[in-house]
Amino acid sequence: MRILHTMIRSGNLERSIDFYSKVLGMTLLRQHDYPEGKFTLAFLGYGKECEQAVIELTYNWGVDHYDIGTGYGHIAIEVDDAFAACEKIKELGGKVIREAGVMKGGNKVIAFVSDPDGYMIELIGKSA
């Protein structure tokens, strides 16, 4: 068994695809409209779906936002350098919620950014 994908809902699919591809550097792997169900799915990731888990963006036609709720935590992405990643994300118009720094009570360097719909993404610096 393996994890295939994490699904999150998008209020504006084009904006979300731009964020995950242009700001976070993922590749749009596939996208398909489902007219009978009135939704579109887009899958993005850092590699092939057959090799890695990916993000599934679900856009329900006509719905422009969602309440995230208190159950959602975050998506974690490993980066070479969390400080540099934050600077690059800001340059590309992304929103840094917590600047890079050592996590409380630990020794890993982390940061948090928000996608256009408010989903939190944790950046974790590679350990030396």
DSSP for 42-101? EEEESS-TTTS-EEEEEEETT-------SS---EEEEES-HHHHHHHHHHTT-EEEEEEE
How many separate helices (H) and strands (E) can be counted in the chain?
2, 8
Q: Is 49 a catalytic residue?
A: no
Q: Which of 56, 87, 99, 122 is catalytic?
A: 122
Which residues does the annotation mark as catalytic?
Answer: 122
